[in-house]
A and B are shown apart, each in its own frame.
Chain A
Amino acid sequence: MTRSSKKPSDRAGHPGPVLFYNETILEHFTNPRNAGELPPEETDGFGLAGDPHCGDQMKLWICVRSGRIAKIAFKSFGCPGAIATSSMLTALAQGKSIQEAKGITDDDVVEALGGIPERKKHCSLLGVKALQAAIADWENRGSIPKEARP
């Protein structure tokens, strides 16, 4: 149990104030990991994901070296849940092999954050989708010689 989950606002079904995010989420929201973009020369894959339910949007860049995610960066337009889950997702994916990165699920992100308010669960899908899109982009690019890429 996280500290903030003891607040009365955390009762099931109650919308509650924004502060019922736990300390880990608040920390990732305040100091997001891997925030920003990768320069074009380091970008081996790019993914974009949007959540039509809340209007949140995420962009994600990966740099792949020897089959591993050497660098990762993201930008996010969204609620605290979207920012914190995006940040945690990039932290989880950093250094992983492509195969391992493909296996990261939204539940992994939520677990790593120590839980997330029920109404924000859908946020964690955003980052996972963006990562999968970036990996798919990398795989597609792989069939095109680097010199011939746009």
Chain B
Amino acid sequence: MIYLDHNATTPLSAQVLQAMMPYLRECWGNPSSPYRFGGEARAAVEEARARIARCAGCKPSEIVFTASGTESDNLAVRGVARASRSRGRHIVTTAIEHHAVLKTCEALAEEGYQVTYLPVTPAGVVDLSTLAESLTPETVLVTVMHANNETGVLQPVEEIGRLVHRHGILLHVDAVQTAGKFPHRFADIGADLVSFSGHKFYGPKGSAGLYVREGTPLSPLLTGGAHEMGLRAGTENVAGIVGLAEALDLALYSSQEEGRRLRRLRDRFESLVRGTAPSAKFNGASAERVPNTSSISFKDVDGESVVLALDLKGICASTGSACSTGEPEPSHVLLAMGLSPREAQGTVRVSLGRDTQEEDIEATAKALAEVVERLRALSSA
């Protein structure tokens, strides 16, 4: 199997699993228990928190553990909205956010919040001039993803942070697709809240986090015990948290070198595809992108058919984001970039990772050429 869907999820690193094992086997106590056995689990959780804080460039108390990137996004957006209700009820986001943010904003809109969805350029980058115009005295939060999961296009979050902070507005950045991919510390992004998720960087699923800058008003989603500084009740996923810290540390250690390697492979892949399918469109390729992602629109073929045909050849790729597979609607991200529904329907996403080698890229480009040619010959479009 050739796995080229690392933006959906990544395999658990052997080293991460090894770090987690003691907390699945011997050290299974509850971190909140009053005896030493529980204390060992507590120590593991707090050590992981300190490790992540070092990676993130923040204080340990600014890291909140959650169970998914989606939960981190929900906590950030709903949590700030609720805690800032008396200040204002306007949220600004973008048309290309992950559903974890978009659907949360839609839910808040039903509760009476106003939501502005910023457009993006054809290259898939948020238009900064529209951001400035969208801010009102009622605006309490701007939420923008660091890199888009479908196209890999990076958003100007640092600039957005400077702009919104001048107006005393909070910024949340969904960094699920960039955490562990860049050597810089994600607290340096200049955001007040940053979401990240372990399984995107070779950590375990079900373990994620939210950076919350000290002093940021935030209401919890889950109420109960006083876990996570009162921001997220529930017994800690000790092994998952240990794995999250180990995975982030490992990913950052090699991110620069790995980023260069992936960029070279991704660019080689795109040039191979361009050679066999001259009409193929590479979405977001003129913008800055994460180095592992390629979004390709083929003319006159259906993306889901391409993905299934590749699957039958032992290659895992995706149409849009993994979560929206199965929805008949074309990708909201690609439509926001100005693609026609037909172009969006013919889009395939390939995302490279740690195990991807040159021969995988060559085999995939060859298989893709065969599949697209076969489907195009069959196509009535």
Chain A residues near B (Cβ < 8 Å):
15-19, 21, 26, 29-30, 32, 35-36, 48, 53-59, 74-80, 82-83, 119
Q: What are the 3 tightest A-B residue pairs by CB atom distance, in nearest-first order?
A: A15-B326, A75-B380, A77-B381
Quick one: which of B303-317 are within 8 Å of A by CB?
A: 304-305, 307-309, 311-312
A80→B378 contact, CB < 8 A: no
Would A15 and B308 be within 8 Å (CB), given that A58-B380, A75-B380 are in contact? no
Report the separation of the CA atoms of residues A99 and B154 in the bound assembly, to the nearest whole angstrom: 59
Partner among A16, A57, A74 whose Cβ is within 8 Å of the Cβ of B326? A16
Q: Mark B316-356, 1 if CB is under 8 A from A, else 0.
A: 00000000011110100000000001100100000000000
- Of residues 206 through 264 on chain B, the ones whose CB sits less than 8 Å from some CB of chain A are none
Q: What residues of A have a CB within 8 angstroms of the CB of B381 in the complex?
A: 57, 77
Cα A56 to Cα B377 in complex, Å, equals 16
Are the CB atoms of B325 and A18 closer together than 8 Å? yes
Query: A56 contacts which chain B residues (CB < 8 A)?
Result: 302
Is B121 close to A, CB under 8 A? no
A83 to B371, CA, bound (A): 14
Asked if A18 meets B380 with Cβ closer than 8 Å, knowing A54-B328, A55-B341, A55-B345, the reply is: no
Q: Chain B contacts of A76 at CB under 8 A?
A: 378-380
A26 to B311, CA, bound (A): 11
Residues in B whose Cβ lies below 8 Å from that of A55: 330, 341-342, 345
Residues of A within 8 A of B305 (CB): 29, 78-80, 83
Q: Which residues of B come within 8 Å of A, CB atoms?
A: 300-302, 304-305, 307-309, 311-312, 325-328, 330, 341-342, 345, 377-381
> Are B304 and A77 closer than 8 Å at their CB atoms?
no
Complex CA–CA separation, A142 to B39 (angstroms): 87
Distance in Å: Cβ of B373 to nearest Cβ of chain A: 13
Instruction: Kindly list chain B residues whose C-beta atoms are within 8 Å of the C-beta of A48.
Output: 380
A77 touches B302 (CB 8 A): yes
Within the assembled complex, what's the spacing in Å between the Cα atoms of A75 and B298?
17
Tell me, rounded to whole Å, the shortest Cβ–Cβ distance linking B8 to chain A. Answer: 10
Cross-chain contact of B380 among A17, A57, A119 (Cβ < 8 A): A57
Kindly identify which residue among A16, A29, A53, A58 contacts B308, using a CB–CB cutoff of 8 Å. A29
Closest chain-B Cβ to A85's Cβ sits at a distance in Å of: 13
For the complex, give the distance between the alpha carbons of A80 and B303 in Å: 10
Contacts of A75 in B (CB 8 A): 378-380
CA–CA, A83 and B375, complex, Å = 10
- Contact among B307, B326, B378 for A35, CB-based, below 8 A: B378
Residues of A within 8 A of B325 (CB): 15, 17-18
Residue of A nearest to B344 (CB): A55
Considering the chains assembled together, what is the distance between the CA atoms of A76 and B305 in angstroms? 11
Measured in the bound complex, the distance between the Cα atoms of B300 and A29 in whole Å is 17
Which residues of B are found within 8 Å of A17, using beta-carbon distances? 325
Query: If A17-B325, A18-B325, A55-B345 touch, does A77 touch B308 (CB 8 Å cutoff)?
Result: no
Establish whether residues A79 and B302, one from each chain, have CB atoms under 8 Å apart when the complex forms: yes
The residues of A that contact B341 with a CB separation of less than 8 Å are 55
Residues of A within 8 A of B330 (CB): 55
Whole-angstrom distance between the alpha carbons of A7 and B301 in the complex?
28
CB distance from B19 to the nearest CB of A (A): 28
- Of A15, A18, A19, the residue contacting B327 (CB under 8 A) is A15
A77 touching B307 in the complex, CB below 8 Å, given contacts A16-B326, A53-B328, A55-B342: no
Among residues of B, the one whose C-beta sits closest to the C-beta of A48 is: B380
Also in contact, A59 and B304, with CB within 8 A (given A15-B325, A17-B325, A119-B326): no
CA distance A26 to B305 in the complex (A): 11
Give the nearest-CB partner of A16 in chain B. Answer: B326
Q: 27 A-B contacts, Cβ less than 8 Å apart?
A: A15-B325, A15-B327, A17-B325, A18-B308, A26-B312, A29-B305, A29-B308, A30-B309, A32-B378, A35-B378, A53-B328, A54-B345, A55-B345, A56-B302, A57-B381, A59-B380, A75-B378, A75-B380, A76-B378, A77-B300, A77-B301, A77-B379, A79-B304, A79-B305, A82-B302, A83-B378, A119-B326
Most buried by B among A15, A59, A80: A80
Beyond A56-B302, A59-B380, A79-B302: 9 further Cβ-contacts under 8 Å?
A: A18-B325, A26-B308, A29-B305, A29-B308, A32-B378, A58-B380, A76-B378, A77-B381, A119-B326
Interface centre among A56, A58, A78 (most CB of B within 10 A): A78
| Chain A residues positioned under 8 Å from B300 (CB to CB) | 77
Q: Which residues of A contact B327 (CB under 8 A)?
A: 15
Contacts of A74 in B (CB 8 A): 380
Q: CB-CB < 8 A to B301: which residues of A?
A: 77
Residues in A neighbouring B308, C-beta threshold 8 A? 18-19, 21, 26, 29, 80
